[in-house]
Chain A
Amino acid sequence: QQQVKQSPQSLIVQKGGISIINCAYENTAFDYFPWYQQFPGKGPALLIAIRPDVSEKKEGRFTISFNKSAKQFSLHIMDSQPGDSATYFCAAQRGSARQLTFGSGTQLTVLP
């Protein structure tokens, strides 16, 4: 059972545009929602994260929007740049062991 569903699978955006990636979760025990960014040949790296008591978090051009009642959260990349081209994974964390459950990933391509 996939507990975190991510869409779209791939996304192509023009330079300067807004990239939006959506995730939905099922388990209400999740209490921390990070986004990871992965470049080819590299492991995923934490980009930005949010707790469910906050509806929005912004760091530079990256914003997470969180809707607790709908059990959905999304990543917005403003003024997308070719250097943002990467695979993005949403994730959800729970429990004393702080295990991460990942979405299936979105391959973002920003055209110059």
Chain B
Amino acid sequence: ETGVTQTPRHLVMGMTNKKSLKCEQHLGHNAMYWYKQSAKKPLELMFVYNFKEQTENNSVPSRFSPECPNSSHLFLHLHTLQPEDSALYLCASSQVLAGDNEQFFGPGTRLTVL
């Protein structure tokens, strides 16, 4: 595997289900991100992990719970979601430096909440 991988690629869940999204980066980066991508809207940054420590939580509802066990893996635990949470969830990683910060994205998980 190369780059950033995400599983599953597609997920359909009911509002009472609990599921988890997984992201793995094979680039040796020290920062990982979760984004939400909805149609015709900007990518919304949800969470940032820098050296496994959560540094940003952009007012995300508690029904989304991130976990970063090490610098290569990132999870997004989902529970009691709402239909409006249906979107493409993108994971990204980067090597955070003082200068530029190119983020490498995975292909995303297409989530549908029924």
Contacts and interface: CB of A to CB of B under 8 A. Distances in A.
Interface residues of B, number: 25
**Interface secondary structure of A, over-half rule:** strand
Interface of B: 4, 40-43, 45, 48, 50, 55-56, 90, 92, 94, 96-97, 99-108
22 contacts: A6-B42, A36-B105, A43-B4, A43-B90, A43-B105, A43-B106, A43-B107, A44-B90, A46-B102, A49-B100, A97-B48, A97-B56, A97-B96, A98-B94, A98-B96, A98-B97, A99-B56, A100-B43, A100-B45, A100-B101, A103-B42, A105-B40
A2 B41 CA distance: 10
Interface of A: 2, 4, 6, 9, 32, 34, 36, 41-46, 49, 89, 93, 97-105
A49 B94 CA distance: 15
A59 to B, nearest CB: 14
